[in-house]
Amino acid sequence: MNKLLPLTLICLSAFTPVLIASEQNSLVYVNQNFGFNVPGYNYAQAELPCEIDKNLVELLVKDSAKSGLTMEPVNTTEKVNNGTIPVLLIDIEQLALGKDFSFGTKTEDNLPKVQVTAAILRGEDLQTAKHTCAIAVLNELTPSSNILDLGVNYSICSATKKCLKDLSKDIVEWASPLVK
């Protein structure tokens, strides 16, 4: 029996690296500079209220861990253009807070929402998708249809953060199969 023990240990140790490698999360960089505005990219994202960029990055990092990804926030051209590690890029296209409080594209539809374009950049390959979340649904709004009238239980920022939680989960779900 003593002769079998070393052979068993050798076999187990040979498979251990494979098991450890399969349990590790896939690494994805998240561009902290929304609007693809890192040095070398000619686009400047307008400053938006409620720190939605910072909140969304934090939520993406948190939600990615649940999906077998490790998202690391980055803000340098070298990391974004690394060529091997996929990078999640976000462009906030619209933050609609009602008729008179919209950022981005003006539309007839003034329902409170956040709309982004998410992109996975890997080397020269870029895959994009639009994602939208509702800040408030119609039955939460008063007859004025203005998000500023949500009442005492909601503020603009708390309602937006709730929306960002849904948006983050949606983006991670979309990105997960693209980067694994």
Given the candidates 2.60.120, 3.30.160, 3.20.20, 1.10.3470, the CATH classification of the domain at 24-179 is: 3.30.160
Q: What is the 3-state secondary structure (H, E, C) of the chain?
A: CCCHHHHHHHHHHHHHHHHHHHHCCEEEEEECCCCCCCCCCCCCCCCCHHHHHHHHHHHHHHHHHHCCEEEEEECCHHHHCCCCCCEEEEEEEEEECCCCCEEECCCCCCCCEEEEEEEEEECCEEEEEEEEEECCCHHHCCCCCCHHHCCCCCCHHHHHHHHHHHHHHHHHHHHHHHHC
**pLDDT tier, 10 (very low <50, low <70, confident <90, very high otherwise):** very low
State pLDDT tens for residues 15-49.
Answer: 333 333 334 679 999 998 776 555 554 445 556 77
Domain ranges of the chain: 24-179
State pLDDT tens for residues 124-133.
Answer: 889 999 999 9
Give the predicted TM-score (pTM) of the model.
0.75
